[in-house]
Amino acid sequence: MYKPDNVKTSPDFPIPDTMRAWVLGDPDQLTLTTKPVPVPKRAEVLVRIDAVAICATDLEIIHHGPPAMIQGGLPYNKNFTPGHEYMGTVAALGPGVDEYKIGDRVTVEIHAGCGQCKRCREGMYTACHNYGLNYGDVDKGHRANGFTTDGGFAEYAVNSINTLVPISDAMSDEEATLVVTAGTAMYGLTELGGLVAGESVVVTGPGPIGLLGVAVAKALGAHPVILTGTRDNRLKIGLELGADYVVNARNEDPVAAVRKLNGGKGVDYVVECSGAPEAVNEAARMVNRGGRICLAAFPGKPAEVDIAYIVRNNIYIYGIRGEGKSATHRAEAFMAQKRFDATKVHTHTFALEDLPTALKYARERIEDAIKVVVKTHGHAAIKSVAAE
């Protein structure tokens, strides 16, 4: 059995020496292998992974490589396990850890950062200046699960205690995997954006971040909250999550519709989650003068932007990477209070051994898949269960 030196384990929570883990070979090539269960160091715990959600960034990593960075380069053929939106149970404690107990249920932020650079010291650990520098003699201790260290498409993972978010027993495993997505929307709206109650928000693009962006904006007291997109079934979920209005961009000009819905002046914030090539120019015309555009998605190629319009109208534009400044804890607090039902974006569940099928569902949006979750144990029989 697993019993590394200086690591606290419990007889009530036996841990095997080895675990099942998916490993990335060449691009798009994943293999289910056996790895040793990893060992937590100081200020780290071992988490037994109970559920992991698939994110568009996982598909990027498996196909293109970045933003994963392993040993200073691409993540291929390095025994690397991707997967980053996971939750689970604390299974073992590294030296000195007394903040958590074995058996605690937690969901996990992705980025621990290095803890020593300028941005980490400011709480912007998702923009750590030492990203990926965690190997050889350039070891700055940076950690980002499933990006620069082994992630969640496995049975266990080591995590810095700084990345853990305790969750209540009332929250299901599937819902807990969505905390980090809601936390990303929270970070963009409040910590980076400065949203206060009563301001108006447009979300463009009803993917997981966009839909939970609507939910978080509404829970924060924004008004009105308008969602634009092209698929009616997703816009409907936006309404269920609190959007005051939805606009189908296939049926009407979204810029004209937004301006009309908000007294002709445009809104205070646009959270851009579509990644469409014209998105920034449209967002600039949806915000009012002095308004803010939060960029949470991007097109595959550089886009042409009408800078003169942005300058003349004093528009602020900022990108967000992930979920900094502990925004995830505040998102969890909203979800624990049932201020919105994040499970509305969870559509499918698969067993760990069916990961390739789960990825295919997420990639090809089979059966209108939005968030696809993989469960690590006790769910081998589940093939595809659409959420209510």
Cα 268 from Cα 290, distance rounded (Å): 8
The set of long-range contacts for 225-228, using a CB threshold of 8 Å and a minimum separation of 24, is: 225/200, 225/201, 226/200, 226/201, 226/202, 226/258, 226/261, 226/262, 226/267, 227/202, 227/203, 228/202, 228/203, 228/204, 228/254, 228/257, 228/258, 228/274
If binding is defined by CB under 5 A, does position 55 make contact with Zn ion?
yes
Using CB under 5 A, pick the residue from 57, 148, 177, 349 that binds Zn ion.
Answer: 57
Q: Which residue type sits at 139?
A: D
Residue 8 Cβ vs Zn ion, minimum distance, rounded to whole Å = 28
Stretch that binds Zn ion, among 106-114, 200-208, 310-318, 344-352 (CB under 5 A): 106-114
- Measured from the CB atom, the residue of 37 and 176 that comes closer to Zn ion is 176
Stretch that binds Zn ion, among 56-64, 74-82, 207-215, 331-339 (CB under 5 A): 56-64
- Measured from the CB atom, the residue of 55 and 315 that comes closer to Zn ion is 55
Position of minimal CB gap to Zn ion: 55
- Measured from the CB atom, the residue of 208 and 224 that comes closer to Zn ion is 208
- Measured from the CB atom, the residue of 245 and 350 that comes closer to Zn ion is 350
Query: What are the backbone dihedrals phi and psi of residue 199, each rounded to the nearest 5 degrees, phi first?
Result: -80, 160
Helix/strand/coil for 20: strand
Going by C-alpha positions, the residue among 90, 78, 98 that lies closest to residue 157 is: 90
Residue 303 Cβ vs Zn ion, minimum distance, rounded to whole Å = 22
Residue 67 Cβ vs Zn ion, minimum distance, rounded to whole Å = 10
Stretch that binds Zn ion, among 17-25, 38-46, 47-55, 338-346 (CB under 5 A): 47-55
If binding is defined by CB under 5 A, does position 327 make contact with Zn ion?
no
- Measured from the CB atom, the residue of 160 and 262 that comes closer to Zn ion is 160
If binding is defined by CB under 5 A, does position 117 make contact with Zn ion?
yes
- Cβ burial of 142 (10 Å; 0-12, 13-18, 19+) is buried
- Measured from the CB atom, the residue of 92 and 157 that comes closer to Zn ion is 157
Using CB under 5 A, pick the residue from 45, 47, 52, 114 that binds Zn ion.
Answer: 114
Q: How many residues bind Zn ion (CB under 5 A)?
A: 8
Q: What is the DSSP letter of 115?
A: S
Using CB under 5 A, pick the residue from 113, 238, 266, 324 that binds Zn ion.
Answer: 113
- Cβ burial of 362 (10 Å; 0-12, 13-18, 19+) is buried
Residue 117 Cβ vs Zn ion, minimum distance, rounded to whole Å = 3
| 130 CB-side CA count, 13 A | 18
Using CB under 5 A, pick the residue from 7, 19, 120, 171 that binds Zn ion.
Answer: 120
Provide the token pair at 17. 């020496």
Stretch that binds Zn ion, among 115-123, 278-286, 298-306, 354-362 (CB under 5 A): 115-123
Site for Zn ion in 127-166 (CB under 5 A): 128, 130
Question: At how many degrees (to 10) do helices 279-286 and 254-261 cross?
Answer: 20
- Cβ burial of 180 (10 Å; 0-12, 13-18, 19+) is buried
Residues binding Zn ion (CB under 5 A): 55, 57, 113-114, 117, 120, 128, 130
